A and B are shown apart, each in its own frame.
Chain A
Amino acid sequence: MTRRVAVVAGGHAKFGKRYDATLRELCAEAYKPIYDAGITQDRIDATVLSYAASQFTGQGAGSALMADSIGLQEKPHLRCESACATGTASIRAAYGMVASGLYDVMLVLGAEQMNRVSSATATEYMSRAGDMRWEYPFGISFPAFYALLASRYMAEYKMPHDVLAKISVKSHHYGAQNPKAHLPKEVTFEEANNAVPIARPLNLYDCSLITDGAAAVVLVAEPRVKEFTDQPMWIKGLGAGASEMMIQDRPSLTSIPGAKRAAAAAYKMAGLQPKDINMAEVHDCFSIAELVAYEDLGFAQPGKGRELIENKEVYHTGRIPVNCDGGLKSKGHPLGATGVSMTYEVMAQMRGKADKPSRQIKNVKYGLVHNVGQSGQFVNVIIYERGWS
């Protein structure tokens, strides 16, 4: 039995340095709008907790704590982990359980609290997502993995850093209009192009943030969707892809092979092509990652992604709006919450509920989420379809 599955509701905590909250409060913030909309605990069959890295808080069995925080401690729950792609891996897992008929109604709750340690310690923990034997001993930080992509891309396509700075300017332009964003402020091109170096050629404004936050969505099987909403967002296609563990072993560093595989699978399942997509939430953990995503998702030919940002085609009124919520760069990147937050944003845009008209994308029928774990070892692409006219 395979049933159609829709996202029917969502909630989103404020992203940022949340010294005022623990995982418990972040989870409650994310679930409260869903509860207030009438999706109370008794209507939820089971939960997938999206929580990437326990070392930041030191909290073991964090997923049990998360479920307990919102009164779902007696319902079945499990934790998914795929590094930065944990959120969409959790949605994928819930989709499978709902489509198969195991459950009718599932909550996916993503949360991460990263600011319980210093930036240097957080950088240390994330560097351990590289191969511990062959990469970690050389001090390859998380930004450094993407800088290796950037150096190669810039050399092969003779592209200046200016292009990456333009992506950062766009991210902050939209993040400044998102009340949930971690760093809601505009930056100028000069600031973005000349910021302090982090992992050259990447600078501070090329890098996403170390963020605390949570987000939640509810997935329901088709026969019961009408009990929950008349504005369902159907999961039209989803694909997962993977890449080699060590970045040196990738055939190319100008794209992420797992992302291409995930996109191909999602488009095939949806019966759609890149030109059909009306908006995308892409995994811009670094500015170069957004540029590469344009190409891996088929919105631009290899080496031509820069035209999308240079011509502002990825702004909210452009041909393919991308990350009009500020993206990981400005909205923030609380690892386990990120993919869930992307899905929340697509639903908000489809429903015409973006916070301000200046970032509202018109008439979204198909929205795409692209969520990458580490430097591409895990990638999920999900295509959502508006279920009302």
Chain B
Amino acid sequence: MATEHEIYLGYSTDKAVTPFFKQFLESLEKNKLMKGVCPKCKKEYLPPRQYCQKDLTECQLVEFTEREAKLYSFVIVDFAPESMASRAPYVVAIGEFPSGRRLTAHITNLTSEPQVGMKLKLGFERVSDKMVTYKWQV
């Protein structure tokens, strides 16, 4: 768990902040989204993971620079888990980048019902003193 500067991801957080994850979060505070790249087999992970799934080599954090995506799928959560009840309804979306990489986050500025295939842009948000996130915007 982070001590001197606590930061967590998202809105309802997992507090297991490892050194690897903390590095990811510190980049996110600077509006940088990091992917994981295996130096051995070059497999990429978005979001990142510390160890490569294929060969268990330690991955490096490398900035992910794509910003535009298309809506692959979505859900409007009306009845939320207890920890998210105050935010409902909210929209969770899987966006697909041109590279084929996908990312799951909220869409925060919709004015009408989401449509599969619609354009999305990646954004960043300081949710609270301790929480930071990536998000989708239309």
Interface residue A19 (Cβ < 8 Å from any Cβ of B): no
> Interface readout for B1-39 with A: 1 if CB under 8 Å, 0 if not?
000000011111110100001000000000000000000
Q: Which of B13, B72, B81 contacts A152 (CB 8 A)?
A: B72
Q: Are A139 and B92 in contact (CB under 8 A)?
A: yes
Residues from 138 to 189 in A contacting B, C-beta threshold 8 Å: 138-141, 143-144, 147-149, 151-152, 155-156
- Residues on B with C-beta less than 8 A from A233 are none
Is A229 on the interface with B (CB-CB < 8 A)?
no
Chain B: which residue is nearest A253 at the CB level? Answer: B73
Docked-complex contact A137 and B16, CB < 8 angstroms? no
Closest chain B residue to A200 by CB distance?
B76
State A133–B36 Cα separation when bound (angstroms).
Answer: 15
B94 touches A247 (CB 8 A): yes
User: Which residues from chain B contact A1 at a C-beta distance below 8 Å?
Assistant: none
Interface-lining segment among A116-124, A274-282, A300-308, A314-322: A116-124
Task: Using CB atoms and an 8 Å cutoff, list the residues of chain A in contact with chain B.
Answer: 118-121, 123-124, 126-127, 132-141, 143-144, 147-149, 151-152, 155-156, 196-202, 246-249, 253
Nearest 10 pairs between A and B by C-beta? A137-B10, A139-B84, A155-B116, A147-B75, A124-B82, A200-B76, A127-B81, A152-B73, A124-B81, A132-B14
New A-B contacts (19) at CB < 8 Å, excluding given A124-B81, A137-B14, A197-B78: A118-B82, A126-B81, A134-B104, A137-B8, A137-B12, A137-B133, A138-B10, A138-B92, A140-B92, A141-B77, A148-B75, A148-B92, A151-B75, A152-B72, A155-B116, A200-B78, A202-B75, A247-B104, A253-B72
User: What are some 26 contacts across the A-B interface (CB < 8 A)?
Assistant: A118-B82, A119-B79, A120-B85, A123-B82, A124-B82, A124-B83, A133-B21, A134-B104, A135-B104, A137-B9, A137-B12, A139-B12, A139-B88, A139-B90, A141-B80, A148-B94, A152-B116, A156-B116, A196-B78, A197-B76, A199-B78, A200-B75, A200-B76, A201-B75, A202-B75, A253-B94
